[in-house]
Structure 1
Amino acid sequence: MTSLPRSTPAAQGVDANGIDAFVAALGRAPNIEPHGLMVLRHGHVVAERWWHPYGPGTPHLLYSLSKAFASTALGFAVAEGLVDLDATVLSYLPEHDARITDPRSRSILVRHVASMTSGHAAETIDEAFGVGDGDLTLGLLLLPPERDPGTFFAYNQPCTNALSAIIERVSGTPLTEFLRPRLFEPLGIGQFGWSLDPVGREQGFSGLHLTTESVAKVGQFYLDGGSWQGKQLLPAEWVAEATRAHVDADKDGSDWGRGYGFQFWRSRHGYRGDGAYGQFMLVLPESDAVVAITSQSPDMEGLLDLAWTHLLPALTAGSGDSAGPAGPWPIEHPELARPAGDGRHMALAEATYRPGPANEIGSLESVRVRPGELVLDEGGELTAALGAPDRWTVTGPLATAYAWSGDRLLIDLIFVETPHRLHLRLDPATGTFAASWRTAPLAPVPLVALRMPH
């Protein structure tokens, strides 16, 4: 995988003290847990950091930041004459024609689903799933919009799924294969996977897994108007169209009230793709900068507030000397917090635990502990190594850490290709366990599926 060029903050006119202040503020925030950070200015990486057990080579579930990549695929399809923004969605899926009788549904254009203006008054994913027998695009068309398409914005996952369906239909390939020669290979992005919906279509609205640096590369690609290393891959006109506001902005002061483009949000500064729990691709044309963040952060607006408070002033418009050290920003891998116990190093006795009170994972049938190993049975076994109690132990897409607290064994299991961490509290006296999420996955999937699809 080709890496982005590296530079010192000072050489690119960036105040390293501002980056330090941002990272320190992330560490103090109670509902923000950073996993990866990359800051670019003038096309150079000036700061990067990952919080162990996450690392630079680990793909991360992007949730709705995936939508920016569906938009990118649409841009290529439009440029190649495969898709017409002013054609109806139904025209690309003629097999559904006889079932779609509502005039508003029949008039939904490609540009409407791209801008979340299908006319539906609210999110339809659950209802669309039901009426479409798992096909979200069919479900969207079967649900009559409450408003005329193009006149009303509502964030609506099946709209993006419709883009996936259309691109797959006109190209004969899923989104990842469509993007491979057009985006991923030119940018040197070699690790990627996109989760499937119930009908076997890459979701579009969520499910893409990429490394933090891959997100940063695509942010730079957009900042450069669809150009990469001097070659125009995506028309600059598409980049401008996709990232401008297509719907009225509320101007309510938040970063979600500034308008919406083709699967991109306008921000208080620049524009962005974003996903649940703090997956961000911030593109800041006024600062010639890009910020890529992967995290587990329910307080997404709080994370952006910290970026605007600390990072934005550091990304000055000049290119001369900056404050702070003259050398490179230190590449460090601080550890995420481990289970808090009483510091005892007790041997792990082999035992099997059954669900007890306060168990939030109803499908988890048993937890088995044996020396050096943790086995979770959810109708199928998921196995992870258990190392020393004072560090994270990483085995593939899983990381574990444990501690004793009184007579309870506390184990945290991080699914490192996602934002998610599972807390286990085992009681040897009763042979029971309690399980809870720090942040629950947005879709109910088996634990073994919490990783990048292959």
Structure 2
Amino acid sequence: MAAETGLERLAADIRAAKFKDVHSVLVYKSGDLLLEEYFTGSSDHIDFEGGIKRIPGPEVAWNADRLHYVASVTKAVTGILAGIALDELGLSEHTLIKDLLPPDLEPSLLGKARSLTLHDLLTMTAGFRWDEWTSDDLVKLWQSDDFAKTLFSKENMGAGSEWRYNSALPNLVLRILEYRLGKPLQVWADERLFGPLGIHNYRWDKQPTGPPEGGARLHLTPRDMMKIGVTVLDGGMWQGERIIPTEWVTKMTRHQASPEGAGYGYYFWLREVGGVPYISADGDGGQQINIFPNEDMVVVMTQGNYGEWPLYMEQAQAMMRDYILPALHIKKPRQ
């Protein structure tokens, strides 16, 4: 009853507008969906090719069947697909990307970039000069007709030279995988990930060269976001079926790089809230799949606060720290 009261208080406070533009909150723990709440909020969308502009939309009543843009949660899905594909192809993430590229693309990879591996792409340590936040690199990427060639036109400072957030990298990963698999990546993803998880209602926009976007532009329902989170929580298993290789789940959610204020795996963030560690797939505006391995718990959230960092992250942390963790009597582990 105490857990229900605490989670019900969160839902009531969201409806009372104590948090800005929250669309859904779902809490799964130890086999039970303890909370699944949807709220009325904005339906704004992003005009990518027009300069990554936020386009206002009317308020809507969000529900279990309405697709939600998940922004960079897409990157985590790309990381999952990479592990499934590498296992199927018998390849290592330490393979040089120059040996994996389509023949028409390989000559464009120059200089120090020829020493890059898939590991470098998956950890955001590929060394390209890239500024996603204060420059127009991302705008130019989405306005280009070939994401990989746009990336390769940037100076490369060498693998591992620094951690730098770069949404062109997961797009390159899917370009490589589609070529190596020899079939449309989205068809293959339906067979190996979405279909087995029962995810059929989704939308995934494509790169100009054909593969789906690796860094953004995926739309899912919160329930299907939860399926992905539970599969990672359970070591790559879903309802008794192996979906993701066990070893890859470990690598993907392990500390591989060190951005400021967090750890980073293969497109998953390693964070903590209230002293409790968790693994996060998160995206602009407040889209999150938060996985708490030690608590056997997954928290999914969607928000409409696009471009409003750090508001949406602070709200997500507050909802978990001040409501969800206390309701479930989860405390900072003893050192």
Say yes or no: TM over 0.5: yes
Structure number having the greater helix percentage: 2
Question: Are residues 198 and 310 of structure 1, via their aligned partners in 2, closer, same or farther at CA, if it must alter by over 3 Å?
Answer: same
Question: In terms of Rg, which structure is larger?
Answer: 1
Tell me the distance in 2 between the aligned counterparts of 1:44 and 1:131: 40
TM superposition shift of 1:194: 0.6
Q: Give the partner amino acid of 1:51.
A: F
Question: Are residues 301 and 99 of structure 1, via their aligned partners in 2, closer, same or farther at CA, if it must alter by over 3 Å?
Answer: closer
Tell me the distance in 2 between the aligned counterparts of 1:273 and 1:121: 24
Pairs within 5 Å for 1:39-78: 39-52=27-40, 53-78=61-86
If the length of structure 2 is used for normalisation, what is the TM-score? Answer: 0.82
Q: Which residue pairs with 2:182 in the alignment?
A: 172
TM superposition shift of 1:82: 5.0
Q: Give the partner amino acid of 1:36.
A: S
Moved more, 104-113 or 197-206: 197-206
Tell me the distance in 1 between the aligned counterparts of 2:182 and 2:239: 29
TM superposition shift of 1:211: 0.6
CA deviation digits over 1:6-25, x for unaligned, max 9? xxxx5xxx712221232344
Question: Are residues 30 and 200 of structure 1, via their aligned partners in 2, closer, same or farther at CA, if it must alter by over 3 Å?
Answer: farther
Verify: 1:283 aligned to 2:287, yes or no.
no
Tell me the distance in 2 between the aligned counterparts of 1:176 and 1:116: 23
Question: Are residues 241 and 156 of structure 1, via their aligned partners in 2, closer, same or farther at CA, if it must alter by over 3 Å?
Answer: same
Question: Are residues 249 and 18 of structure 1, via their aligned partners in 2, closer, same or farther at CA, if it must alter by over 3 Å?
Answer: farther
Q: Give the partner amino acid of 1:134.
A: D
Pairs within 5 Å for 1:53-452: 53-93=61-101, 94-102=103-111, 104-123=112-131, 126-127=136-137, 129=140, 133-146=144-157, 148-248=158-258, 250=260, 257-268=261-272, 269-297=277-305, 298=308, 299-306=311-318, 307-316=320-329
Question: Are residues 22 and 120 of structure 1, via their aligned partners in 2, closer, same or farther at CA, if it must alter by over 3 Å?
Answer: farther
TM superposition shift of 1:181: 1.7
Unaligned runs of 5+ in 2: 41-60
If the length of structure 1 is used for normalisation, what is the TM-score? Answer: 0.61
CA deviation digits over 1:91-111, x for unaligned, max 9? 222322333331x11111111
Tell me the distance in 1 between the aligned counterparts of 2:300 and 2:189: 20
Question: Are residues 90 and 123 of structure 1, via their aligned partners in 2, closer, same or farther at CA, if it must alter by over 3 Å?
Answer: farther
Q: Give the partner amino acid of 1:90.
A: K
Question: Are residues 285 and 140 of structure 1, via their aligned partners in 2, closer, same or farther at CA, if it must alter by over 3 Å?
Answer: same
The number of aligned residues is 298
Q: Which residue pairs with 2:51 in the alignment?
A: none
Using CA pairs under 8 Å that are at least 6 residues apart, name the structure with larger relative contact order, 1 or 2.
2
CA deviation digits over 1:5-48, x for unaligned, max 9? xxxxx5xxx71222123234434566621212211011221111
Unaligned runs of 5+ in 1: 1-9, 251-256, 319-454
Tell me the distance in 2 between the aligned counterparts of 1:167 and 1:145: 22
TM superposition shift of 1:233: 2.1
Percent identical among aligned pairs is 28
Question: Are residues 242 and 176 of structure 1, via their aligned partners in 2, closer, same or farther at CA, if it must alter by over 3 Å?
Answer: same
Contact 1:127 / 1:139 at 8 angstroms: preserved in 2? no
TM superposition shift of 1:120: 2.5
Q: Give the partner amino acid of 2:105.
A: H
Contact 2:303 / 2:312 at 8 angstroms: preserved in 1? no
Q: Which residue pairs with 1:397 in the alignment?
A: none
Q: Give the partner amino acid of 1:39.
A: V
Question: Are residues 56 and 224 of structure 1, via their aligned partners in 2, closer, same or farther at CA, if it must alter by over 3 Å?
Answer: same
Tell me the distance in 1 between the aligned counterparts of 2:130 and 2:151: 12
TM superposition shift of 1:51: 1.8
Verify: 1:35 aligned to 2:35, yes or no.
no
Question: SS of the counterpart of 2:72?
Answer: helix
TM superposition shift of 1:126: 4.6
Contact 2:129 / 2:155 at 8 angstroms: preserved in 1? no
Contact 1:245 / 1:260 at 8 angstroms: preserved in 2? yes
Tell me the distance in 1 between the aligned counterparts of 2:115 and 2:282: 29
Contact 2:74 / 2:215 at 8 angstroms: preserved in 1? yes
Question: SS of the counterpart of 1:270?
Answer: strand
